[in-house]
């Protein structure tokens, strides 16, 4: 097997990848794909074959000794980023031949962009996950597989660690396709190896997209961002009930609209249900931050359930306004989004007097009992601009319309929209951490789009699409009021795996609001 070192050279007559198995040079300056074995390099080249500007694939040779020599020379080469692709031995019993493992750590080297790369592979339909990859100097037999798995390694190979070290601080990623597993050890390597090579080939276009997304960039953080006081309170209530009563603790609906938060609390013993009939008699149930209608409260009382209410006090304020306006004989136009839990709860406070209006067209169609006695309220997490449009249409049609005593769109929603607007003005694109069912997070995306800056809603780094980042030098970053601050840190870390990242913050206001806990969980 020949050791080959890439040197920049013009594209030859055989195209950017050169002849299979021979020395190759990076056709796209800056990107180097390493594949140790001839069959691995061939699989990757085939995957890149029809793509324009495909990077060179360098066959680096088999085993740690040979690889260490190649890596020593590579470390001085002027590539910009390195992708290592090959097959590997799966160490855990949940892996199957053909699965792709994207290294988070490869020996001592951290590959920070692994969540982004694994997410992109999954979106391409490939069975990919992230995990730690170890490099060993011999084939791994059954007892050692179990030992390495117990140490937290997912895959073993014989080349990745020295190659990754040769990146010497430049972006590096490793994709290993599983050829054998504890259930299908080396005896099964032929069919397993073919499955691995197929996956490797299919992963090659994604590797090219990863390379195109590499580069140094600036991250502009919007301040404030992430958890608001109502969300912190709601999460703390569930945590305290878990502490006081032990699991399971039933929660009606998602306590806040965030998959990370819900997943974390589920692991700790919270059980999220859609309706009260899923809660056993006599159990404790927590109502979510979005609030419930009086009918739900009556249901719970009728069932003898112990209720702990995590409704945000700012949502409760809107409920109280609805009751007050209805009692005074007003028709209440509730500006909000159909189907949102908060809207359902508010509508339930005065169902005969409240009408949902989502747009100015809905205002035109409104038929109040008395045009002189119309009031409006708002969902707390609306876009400030859009809600103002609908409120303006109401004022135009019903000049005597009553507004809420104080803004219904809460401080957290307003502040996060102002902050992201400031960041969007300076950014090529904005990433908004938050879940798809989080109203305030979706509004942040819309705020950026209205400002003319593309924005994407992501639950975490794994949702970042590599194409978004190609050629982008300034990324704005914020998080909806229900998204944990840790997600923002994870996203910054993942971006830093694509190249140097400088982080600065644009703070438009600071927040110090805290809400007290209900008496049932106070210490
Ligand atoms: S977004 Fe506003 S209304 Fe909703 S929980 Fe947070 S503070 Fe309360």
For residue 70, the CA-to-ligand 1 centroid distance in Å is 56
> Which residue minimizes the CA distance to atom 6 of ligand 1?
230
Q: Is 318 in the pocket of ligand 1 (CB under 6 A)?
A: no
- Catalytic residue, chosen from 40, 321, 341, 342, is 342
Residue 189: predicted pLDDT: 57
Number of other CB atoms surrounding residue 249 within 10 Å: 25
Number of alpha carbons in the 13 Å side-chain half-sphere of residue 286: 33
482 lines ligand 1 (CB under 6 A): no
Global pTM reads 0.92
Report the residue among 311, 315, 341, 382 best suited for mutation to probe ligand 1: largest number of ligand atoms under 8 A from its CB: 315
* 67 burial type by CB count under 10 A (0-12 exposed, 13-18 middle, 19+ buried): buried
Backbone torsion region of residue 309, taken as left when φ is above 0, otherwise alpha when ψ lies between -120 and 50, otherwise beta: beta
C-alpha 231 – ligand 1 centre gap (Å): 6
Give nearest CA residue, ligand 1 atom 5.
Answer: 230
The separation between CA 115 and the C-alpha centre of its own chain, rounded to angstroms, equals: 9
The CA–CA distances, whole Å, from 206 to 124, 125, 202, 346 equal 8, 11, 8, 47
CA of 481 to the centre of ligand 1 (A): 7
Cα 324 to Cα 351: distance, rounded to the nearest angstrom: 13
CA distances to 48, 106, 174, 453, 459 from 501, in Å: 29, 21, 20, 20, 21
β-bridge pairing 128-135 and 153-157? parallel
Whether 393 is in the pocket of ligand 1, judged by its Cβ within 6 Å, is: no
Q: Give the closest residue (by CA) to ligand 1 atom 2.
A: 410
346 within ligand 1 shell (Cβ under 6 A): no
Greatest alpha-carbon span in the chain: 88
Place of tokens 């902050």: 419
Q: How far apart are CA 487 and CA 46, in angstroms?
A: 36
Is 241 near ligand 1, meaning CB less than 6 Å away?
no
Pick the closest to residue 416 from 217, 221, 219, 218 (CA basis).
Answer: 221
> How many angstroms separate the Cα of 28 from the Cα of each of 42, 74, 450?
18, 16, 36
pLDDT value of position 139: 85
Atom of ligand 1 nearest to the CA of 381: 1
Tell me the C-alpha to C-alpha distance, in Å, between residue 445 and each of 5, 22, 261, 361, 432: 46, 48, 20, 23, 7
Is there an atom of ligand 1 within 6 Å of 480 CB?
no
Site to probe by mutation for ligand 1, drawn from 227, 231, 310, 319 as the one with most ligand atoms within 8 Å of Cβ, is 231
What phi, psi does 223 have (nearest 5°)? -130, 125
Rounded Cα distance, 362 and 351, in Å? 17
Q: Which helix (H) or strand (E) holds 397?
A: helix 384-397
The per-residue DSSP string of 310-354 comes to ---HHHHHHHHHHHHHHHTTPEEEEES-TT-HHHHHHHHHSTTTE
pLDDT tens track, the chain, 523 positions: 333 333 333 232 233 333 333 334 334 458 999 999 999 999 999 999 999 989 989 999 999 999 999 999 999 999 999 999 999 999 999 999 999 999 999 999 999 999 999 999 999 999 999 999 999 998 888 889 999 999 999 999 999 999 999 999 999 999 999 999 998 877 555 777 899 999 999 999 999 999 999 999 999 999 999 999 999 999 999 999 999 999 999 999 999 999 999 999 999 999 999 999 999 998 999 999 999 999 999 999 999 999 999 999 999 999 999 999 999 999 999 999 999 999 999 999 999 999 999 999 999 999 999 999 999 999 999 999 999 999 999 999 999 999 998 899 999 999 999 999 999 999 999 999 999 999 999 999 999 999 999 999 999 999 999 999 999 999 999 999 999 999 999 999 999 999 999 999 999 999 999 999 999 999 8
Q: Is the CB of 378 under 6 A from ligand 1?
A: no
Strand partners, 251: 272, 286
358 burial type by CB count under 10 A (0-12 exposed, 13-18 middle, 19+ buried): middle
Query: In the numeric block, which tokens belong to residue 397?
Result: 């049609």
For the question of residue 505 being annotated catalytic, the response is no
What distance in Å separates the CA atoms of residue 83 and residue 212, rounded to the nearest whole number? 12
pLDDT of residue 5: 33
pLDDT tens digit string along 287-305? 999 999 999 999 999 999 9
Q: Is 315 in the pocket of ligand 1 (CB under 6 A)?
A: yes
Would you say the CB of residue 413 lies under 6 angstroms from ligand 1? yes
Ligand 1 pocket test: pick from 238, 342, 380 the residue with the most ligand atoms within 8 Å of its Cβ: 380
User: CB-hemisphere CA count at 13 Å for 452?
Assistant: 2
Any ligand 1 atom below 6 A from CB of 381: yes
> What distance in angstroms lies between residue 240's CA and the mean position of ligand 1's atoms?
20
Is the preceding omega at residue 224 within 30 degrees of 0, hence cis? Answer: yes
Q: What spacing in Å lies between the alpha carbon of 315 and ligand 1's midpoint?
A: 7
């Amino acid at each position: 097997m020949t050791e080959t070192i890439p040197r920049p050279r013009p594209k030859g007559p055989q195209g950017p990848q050169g002849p299979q198995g021979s020395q190759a040079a990076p056709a796209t300056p800056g990107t180097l794909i390493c594949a140790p074995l001839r069959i691995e390099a061939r699989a990757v080249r085939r995957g890149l074959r029809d793509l324009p500007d495909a990077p060179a694939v360098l066959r680096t040779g088999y085993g740690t000794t040979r690889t260490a020599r190649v890596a020593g020379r590579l470390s001085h080469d002027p590539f910009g980023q390195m992708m290592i692709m090959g097959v590997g031995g799966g160490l855990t019993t949940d892996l199957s031949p053909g699965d792709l493992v994207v290294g988070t750590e490869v020996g001592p080297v951290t590959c920070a962009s692994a969540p982004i790369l694994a997410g992109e592979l999954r979106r391409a339909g490939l069975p990919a996950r992230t995990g730690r990859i170890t490099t060993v100097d011999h084939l791994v037999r059954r007892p050692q597989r179990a030992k390495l798995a117990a140490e937290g390694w997912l895959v073993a190979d014989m080349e990745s660690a020295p190659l990754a070290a040769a990146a010497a601080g430049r972006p590096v990623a490793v994709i290993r396709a599983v050829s054998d597993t504890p259930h299908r050890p080396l005896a099964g390597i032929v069919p397993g190896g073919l499955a691995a090579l197929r996956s490797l080939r299919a992963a090659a276009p994604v590797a090219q997209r990863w390379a195109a997304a590499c580069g140094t960039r600036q991250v502009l953080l919007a301040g404030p961002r992430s958890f608001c006081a109502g969300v912190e309170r709601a999460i703390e209530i569930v945590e305290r009930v878990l502490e006081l009563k032990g699991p399971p603790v039933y929660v009606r609906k998602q306590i806040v609209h965030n998959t990370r938060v819900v997943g974390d609390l589920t692991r700790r013993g919270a059980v999220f249900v859609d309706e009260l009939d899923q809660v056993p008699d006599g159990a404790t149930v927590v109502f979510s931050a979005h609030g419930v209608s009086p009918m739900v409260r009556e249901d719970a009382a009728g069932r003898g359930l112990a209720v702990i209410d995590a409704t945000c006090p700012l949502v409760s304020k809107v409920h109280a306004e609805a009751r007050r306006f209805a009692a005074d004989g007003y028709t209440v136009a509730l500006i909000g989004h159909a189907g949102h839990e908060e809207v359902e709860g508010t509508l339930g406070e005065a169902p005969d007097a409240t009408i949902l209006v989502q747009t100015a067209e809905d205002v035109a169609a409104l038929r109040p009992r008395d045009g002189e006695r119309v009031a409006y309220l708002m969902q707390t997490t609306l876009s400030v601009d859009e809600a103002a449009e609908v409120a303006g249409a109401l004022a135009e049609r019903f000049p005597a319309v009553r507004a809420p005593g104080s803004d219904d769109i809460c401080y957290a929603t307003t502040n996060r929209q102002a902050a992201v607007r400031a960041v969007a003005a300076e950014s090529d694109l904005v990433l908004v951490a938050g879940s798809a069912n989080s109203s305030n997070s979706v509004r942040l995306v819309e705020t950026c789009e209205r400002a003319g800056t593309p924005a994407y809603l992501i639950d975490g780094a794994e949702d970042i699409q590599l194409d978004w980042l190609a050629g982008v030098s300034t990324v704005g970053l914020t998080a909806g009021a229900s998204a944990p601050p840790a997600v923002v840190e994870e996203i910054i870390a993942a971006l830093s795996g694509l190249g140097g990242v400088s982080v600065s913050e644009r703070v438009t206001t600071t927040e110090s609001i805290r809400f007290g806990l209900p008496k049932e969980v106070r210490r």
